[in-house]
Structure 1
Amino acid sequence: MSRSESGSIRSVLVVDDSIFMRRMISDMIERFPGYRVVATAADGEEALRLIERHDPDLVTLDIEMPRLDGFGVLKRVMGSRPRPCVVLSAYTATGSEAALRALELGAVEFVAKPSGPISFDVAKVEGHLFEALEAAAAADLDALLEERRGEITRPVALAVEGEESVVVIAASTGGPRALSFLLGTLPASLEAAVLVVQHMPAGFTATLAARLDGVSKLPVTEATGGETVVANHVWLAPGNFHMRLRRFEREVRIVLDQREPLRGTRPAADALFPTAAALYGKRCIGVVLTGMGRDGADGLAAIRAASGRTIVQDEATSVVFGMPGRAIAQGAAEQVVPLDRVPEAIVECLSAIAERGRDTTT
């Protein structure tokens, strides 16, 4: 469960080897309502000592530090005294790899910080840092750290020719681990295209796509725009771009744009889901996984209104129940299931769609 109660002052330990960054991050956090910095640390060893002394509710953590780096801190903390950690990672290819590894080790969220010379541009991350701390404060660490393995042995019923289906998925906080399990469990012969919106900055989604491709039986790529949507392939929306679907004659293609963020989010599932509902109707399956906020709820309602199928992750297995909870509250969820059951629920829906298609052609 989350360590701090709603409405209380949450204590934060700031860990960074740069004194400038420690001061900058601390000043930001002190301006946030409901947060206070109880201590700062210049390296991982000092961080562990201060965690023992102050027992902070939250930790912000740099990766590259002397003596003990952020990965070492995460392993020690999550193995003995778990608490929500937010990682600050450089806005580089190396930084994106580090951020995703940190999420795998148990960090709740990450914030991309500017790379290169120390600059007051660091202040631009303030909004993202506040959102990350809010997500971390709401996180269920039991759900985050639970190891899951799954396998689907039942075949997916073959779709009727010309009756392609699509699966659209939304995720935010806790999403990379949930997606790793989900895509790693779905069968190679899914008989549907899969499109994923994971809230993540530009420059990080390509790395996530590569990591997911390594665990998935289906090929996973970051969308670049213009791709023809075909079965048995997964596309991940790139950071800072909305992903939508559009019909071009007999083909459905992926279209990217940089229209206004939806409720502060780009990419947003609420940009993708309605276009999938309009094009695929009853052959569309919408899935909302763990995440902060309300993205995906309106889009899932559009899918259900178009006679599509909708699946929402339950509270017990969600790291943050914001997005799933909102979808349920709006009446958009046909099924509410634990993460372990989501892959099987998708396969069951696809098989039912295929069987129904056969019945209408005979």
Structure 2
Amino acid sequence: MQPIDVLIVDDSVFMRRIISDLISEDTGFRVVGTAKNGREAIEMVKRLKPHVMTLDVEMPEMNGLEALRIIMKENPLPVIMLSSLTQEGASETIKALELGAVDFIGKPSGSISLDLHKVKESLLEKLHIAAGTNVSKLPKPFVAPAAPLKKVPVPAVVPPKMVERLQAESNTTFDHLVAIGTSTGGPRALHEVLSGIPGSFPAPVVIVQHMPPNFTKSLSQRLNTISGLHVVEAENGMVLESGMAYVAPGGYHMTIARNGTSSYKVHLSQEDPRAGHRPSVDVMFESLLPLKELKRHIVLMTGMGSDGAKGMLALKQAGALTTIAESEETCIVYGMPRAAVELKCVTHVLPQQEIARQLIHSVNTKI
């Protein structure tokens, strides 16, 4: 069996050597080259035709984002980003994932750190997953206006206090709820789906994306700029509102519970991970089982493993109206959706660019 050819891109000589040594410990990989900036990376991709690449973000001459944009246009291949575990690093990583990077590895203590040995197992696992993906098949991400309109202005003739009361009542009173679970490849898929949902959407959207702390906050901030929905990182006790999307924070399970008789709220906990995940899609889905008065619409998108499949099955058996699995053709990793399809609990199998349209149709259909 032929080894998987890897190109390593990092401006630090020390880091290039460390990453090369880590990857070379797995005989399934072969490091075919190293580059010190994005410009070199573009040329080496053309010349060496590697199967997969690791790519730093901050580099001289041309940074990782600029190089990634060109590579994904001219010679697309699976890319794993190397990112600092800072708020700025998280923001740049989210942009890279939208541009087509498969996944990322966090640098524990900056660009020069022996701590990278601690993430060896994760690095090798993600490289194996990335090497098996076909990034050239993915749809181009939707490019939204710089400042999407969030809310329709209320006429000035209505007394302000009455407007606030009516808005609060209408926003927290709804009949539908959308729940989405995703993992590897999820930021790009969420970008595609949420950019297609208008701010007038008459339901809240709750989301679990497998991701560490910091990154979920940056993800929610980024999604908020491209969607008509208000997208936020969820906080404990938040009351759900229609036209809003809530992203579970990294490191916390997110569940939804009744808040009195007429509204619903977010509950966050740091209970043990479920099947290695916190947040867990299954944990969130299972919390929706008692909420039978709501018309529930459940979505599973790209991701490794089977998190969410059992929860979707339970919700389907409990009367969920819509259960959507992303189709293999647009998944970075066809794991979580495949598991749901195999459990025969899916009403629609759709490419990611059709999921928003189906959700709008399902929520607006009179039943």
Structure 2 CA distance for partners of 1:297 and 1:10, relative to 1, 3 Å: same
The one-letter amino acid paired with 1:39 is: G
Structure 2 CA distance for partners of 1:63 and 1:272, relative to 1, 3 Å: same
From 149, 156, 177, give the equivalent of 1:166.
177
In 2, distance between residues paired with 1:129 and 1:76?
A: 24
The one-letter amino acid paired with 1:14 is: I
Matched, 1:76 2:87: no
Residue 291 (structure 1) shift: 2.0
Task: Provide the secondary structure at the position in 1 that maps to 2:117.
Answer: helix
Matched, 1:28 2:46: no
The one-letter amino acid paired with 1:204 is: F
Structure 2 CA distance for partners of 1:192 and 1:33, relative to 1, 3 Å: farther
User: Could you say which residue in structure 2 is the equivalent of 1:323?
Assistant: 336
User: Could you say which residue in structure 1 is the equivalent of 2:319?
Assistant: 307
User: Could you say which residue in structure 1 is the equivalent of 2:9?
Assistant: 15
Task: Provide the secondary structure at the position in 2 that maps to 1:316.
Answer: helix
Task: Provide the secondary structure at the position in 2 that maps to 1:247.
Answer: strand
Residue correspondence of structure 1 range 247-262 to structure 2 within 5 A = 247-250=258-261, 251-262=263-274
In 1, distance between residues paired with 2:276 and 2:187?
A: 20
The one-letter amino acid paired with 2:53 is: V
Bigger mean CA offset, 325-334 vs 239-248: 239-248
The one-letter amino acid paired with 2:277 is: T
Residue 149 (structure 1) shift: 7.7
In 2, distance between residues paired with 1:174 and 1:71?
A: 17
Structure 2 CA distance for partners of 1:58 and 1:222, relative to 1, 3 Å: same
Matched, 1:175 2:186: yes
Residue 285 (structure 1) shift: 1.0
Structure 2 CA distance for partners of 1:139 and 1:93, relative to 1, 3 Å: same
Identity %: 39
The one-letter amino acid paired with 1:119 is: S
Residue 257 (structure 1) shift: 1.5
User: Could you say which residue in structure 1 is the equivalent of 2:248?
Assistant: 237
TM-score, normalization by structure 1: 0.86
1:310 and 1:332 in contact (8 A); partners too: yes
Structure 2 CA distance for partners of 1:49 and 1:230, relative to 1, 3 Å: closer
User: Could you say which residue in structure 1 is the equivalent of 2:362?
Assistant: 349
Task: Provide the secondary structure at the position in 2 that maps to 1:262.
Answer: coil
Matched, 1:339 2:352: yes
Bigger mean CA offset, 328-337 vs 117-126: 117-126
From 109, 128, 131, give the equivalent of 1:134.
128
The one-letter amino acid paired with 1:268 is: S
User: Could you say which residue in structure 2 is the equivalent of 1:215?
Assistant: 226
Bigger mean CA offset, 130-139 vs 103-112: 130-139
The one-letter amino acid paired with 1:102 is: A
In 2, distance between residues paired with 1:32 and 1:212?
A: 36
TM-score, normalization by structure 2: 0.85
User: Could you say which residue in structure 2 is the equivalent of 1:246?
Assistant: 257
Matched, 1:285 2:311: no
Structure 2 CA distance for partners of 1:68 and 1:117, relative to 1, 3 Å: closer
Task: Note the residue ranges of structure 2 that are not aligned, 5 or more in a row.
Answer: 145-169
1:229 and 1:252 in contact (8 A); partners too: yes
Structure 2 CA distance for partners of 1:149 and 1:258, relative to 1, 3 Å: same
User: Could you say which residue in structure 2 is the equivalent of 1:269?
Assistant: 281
Residue 145 (structure 1) shift: 4.7
In 1, distance between residues paired with 2:274 and 2:255?
A: 13
**Matched residues, number:** 339
1:148 and 1:340 in contact (8 A); partners too: no
Residue correspondence of structure 1 range 103-142 to structure 2 within 5 A = 103-116=97-110, 118-142=112-136
Task: Provide the secondary structure at the position in 2 that maps to 1:202.
Answer: coil
1:13 and 1:58 in contact (8 A); partners too: yes
Residue 317 (structure 1) shift: 2.1
Residue 295 (structure 1) shift: 1.6
